[in-house]
Amino acid sequence: MKKKLLKYEPLYILISYAILALLMYWTIRADFVWYGDDTYYHFLRIIGLSDNFKHGLLQSGVSTSFFGKIGYGQYIFYPWITLIPFSFFKLLTASWIQAYYLGLMFYFFVSFLISHYVMKKFSNSTFQAVIFAVVYNFSTYRLIDFFSRAAIGEYLATIFLPLCFLGFYELFFGDNKNWKILAIGMSLIIFSHILTTFMCLLIFVLILIIFSPKVKLSKNRLLDFGKAVGTTILATLIFTVPFIIEEFSQDYGIPGQQALKGKSLLSLITSSFLNTSGRSFEGHIYNIGLILILALLLGIIIFKKFDFTTKAIFTLAILTFIMSSSFFPWKFLQNTPIGVIQFPFRNLIFATLFSSIIAAKSLSILIKNNHFSITIAVISVTLISGSLWYSSFNKSLVNSFISQDNLVITEKMVNRHNIPENYLDQYIPKKVQKYLPEIKQHLGYINGKKFLQIPGIRNSTNYFELANIKKGDVVDLPYVRYRFTKIRLNGSVEDLLPSKRGTVRFVAPTDFNKLKIQINYDVPAFQLIFVISLLAWLFLII
């Protein structure tokens, strides 16, 4: 009987994770999209990406349908690859709102699988793998990430975070032959959220400094490190080539720059015990939740029973938790490149990861190694974690803007294309900022004379139509110009002029009774870049 159970254990675990993902989906699903901090922004990213694909734009640099229809470079600077599954689910349902929730359910399931795989490989224990997967996926901060904050990019990055850190551990402290795990994990994070990528690199450096005596360095490890870096670069070219070139082509400000200031450590601890997941704008403090704060307390009690690796992970959990608060001297880093992280509470993604490992490790020490004890522990942890997650979700809805009728996204808003468009000041060149108000109003110029026109969409491009244009006329369109912005005048490619507004500007090469100006974002040799990235992925997963 025991052998039969072990034989089908992977199937039981797979079905269990599918059920948990389905229950999470049923909990959050509604006929509207809840109003989190960045709900409008990310929902429009998802819809806009699908529109770009529908119009034939594989290289989705600018948003043709949304974000003001000003040629906004949303998909140049914010990764879009991991948004594709949402577009797939739109093919299965007539509703973008339901496609959104189905996409989240898909990623809930993927996250369970990745979490289990990582912990199983790290600990060689199915028990620890299940506990980690359950605790990590029902963690309060990850609920906050996709729900209260609606920071979909960061949430997607947290799915691949365990994979990335397992690869890093294997490369520098374990079996360096598993270097591909780091490349896959880091590539998927790059495809999800650039800021999390940067923060991962900072944590990696911190780990190497703190635990330098334990780092295993050899010629082979350095070679494998080079392989990991090289394949990550190749696998992500489809996004990083336009991103990097554009970053160095013009001056850009720091998106949403904020003063680096965390909440007090005491309030962070208190909120974790309260297991709150409400929005910070409504007075709540983002936290790691009750399960993980208890895991840290338990870790303190049984610290001596941990092996060195677990002690190191516990140290990192405490450190990143403290770094999420005002106890850490963030003011000294305000004017450094680290200031780009905007909010110290972002470090809670790492505190959540490390604390979840501690929860699994601690229970493996305390629970007797027999089938009955392990089964009871798994069921108990799942029920408690799931119940706390469910309770926190529902409490955050009470008297909150999250569920306010005039703020949530409805089907009517989607169908009428009247979802509020925000953050248009991000991801545009600095020189555009001054003129953004008139560009958003679609104000253009012909020889200095004003005209108004909203661009249309046809044949994968935005377009403008003008009449009675004379040779030598200078036309300045209300459309942001990037390094790879191209124009066609009645089908013929034309060069662009510099513009003080940072917009598309050109001189008419001849007279036009009717002029159709097609504008698109065209990265040279994009097909070659796509093939190289595809081959790199085939190499990594085979």
pLDDT at 60 over 90: no
- How high is the pLDDT of residue 94? 85
Confidence of residue 244 (pLDDT cuts 50, 70, 90): very high
- The CB-side HSE value for 278 (13 A sphere, CA atoms) comes to 18
Of 98, 125, 127, 129, give the one whose Cα is nearest residue 112. Answer: 129
- How high is the pLDDT of residue 197? 98
User: Does residue 423 contact residue 42 with C-beta atoms inside 8 Å?
Assistant: no
What whole-number distance in Å separates Cα of residue 159 and Cα of residue 117?
Answer: 12
Q: What is the largest CA-CA distance in the chain?
A: 87
Q: Please count the structural domains in the chain.
A: 1
Of 437, 457, 444, 463, give the one whose Cα is nearest residue 503. Answer: 444
pLDDT at 356 over 90: yes
**pLDDT, tens digit, 9 for 90 and up, residues 365-410:** 999 888 889 999 999 999 999 999 999 999 999 999 999 999 999 9
Is 411 among the domain residues? no
Phi–psi pair at 33, nearest 5 degrees: -105, 125
Is 150 among the domain residues? yes
Is 384 among the domain residues? yes
DSSP letters along 385-437, please?
Answer: HHHHHHHHHHHTTTT-GGG-TTTSB-HHHHHTT------TTTTSBHHHHTTHH
**pLDDT, tens digit, 9 for 90 and up, residues 291-311:** 999 999 999 999 999 999 999
pLDDT at 7 over 80: no
Is 534 among the domain residues? no
- How high is the pLDDT of residue 309? 97
- Give the mean pLDDT of 62-76: 91
Is 418 among the domain residues? no
DSSP letters along 329-363, please?
Answer: -GGGGTTSGGGGG--GGGGHHHHHHHHHHHHHHHH
Is 535 among the domain residues? no
- Give the mean pLDDT of 247-253: 89
**pLDDT, tens digit, 9 for 90 and up, residues 215-240:** 998 999 999 999 999 999 999 999 99
Q: What angle do CA 494, 65, 447 make, to 5 degrees?
A: 40
User: Does residue 523 contact residue 484 with C-beta atoms inside 8 Å?
Assistant: yes
What whole-number distance in Å separates Cα of residue 334 and Cα of residue 259?
Answer: 7
Q: Provide the residue type at 472 as one letter.
A: G
> Does 120 or 254 have the greater pLDDT score?
120
- How high is the pLDDT of residue 253? 78
What whole-number distance in Å separates Cα of residue 228 and Cα of residue 231?
Answer: 5
- How high is the pLDDT of residue 59? 65
User: How many other C-beta atoms can be found within 10 angstroms of the C-beta atom of residue 91?
Assistant: 9
CA distances from 377 to 134, 232, 242, 385 (A): 12, 39, 49, 12
pLDDT at 157 over 80: yes
User: Does residue 433 contact residue 257 with C-beta atoms inside 8 Å?
Assistant: no
Q: From edge to edge, which strands make up the β-sheet containing 492-494?
A: 456-458, 461-469, 512-521, 485-489, 492-494
- Give the mean pLDDT of 476-499: 94
Round the average pLDDT of the chain to a whole number and report it. 94
Q: Which range is least confidently modeled, 176-185, 257-266, 395-404? A: 257-266
pLDDT at 326 over 60: yes
Is 446 among the domain residues? no
- How high is the pLDDT of residue 369? 84
Question: What does the block give as tokens for 63?
Answer: 């948003």
Q: Which range is least confidently modeled, 44-58, 301-315, 461-475? A: 44-58
Is 262 among the domain residues? yes
> Does 268 or 50 have the greater pLDDT score?
268
- Give the mean pLDDT of 239-252: 93
- Give the mean pLDDT of 333-349: 93
pLDDT at 56 over 90: no
Of 527, 537, 531, give the one whose Cα is nearest residue 232. Answer: 537
CA dihedral sign of residues 317, 322, 324, 329: negative
What whole-number distance in Å separates Cα of residue 44 and Cα of residue 80?
Answer: 12
- Give the mean pLDDT of 470-495: 94
pLDDT at 4 over 70: no
What whole-number distance in Å separates Cα of residue 398 and Cα of residue 176?
Answer: 49
Confidence of residue 460 (pLDDT cuts 50, 70, 90): low
Euclidean distance between the first and final Cα of the chain, in Å? 35
What whole-number distance in Å separates Cα of residue 249 and Cα of residue 515?
Answer: 29
- Domain around 276: 1-404
What whole-number distance in Å separates Cα of residue 255 and Cα of residue 247?
Answer: 13
Of 152, 186, 118, 139, give the one whose Cα is nearest residue 38. Answer: 152
Q: Which range is least confidently modeled, 177-186, 211-220, 287-296? A: 211-220
State whether residue 485 is helix, strand or coil: strand
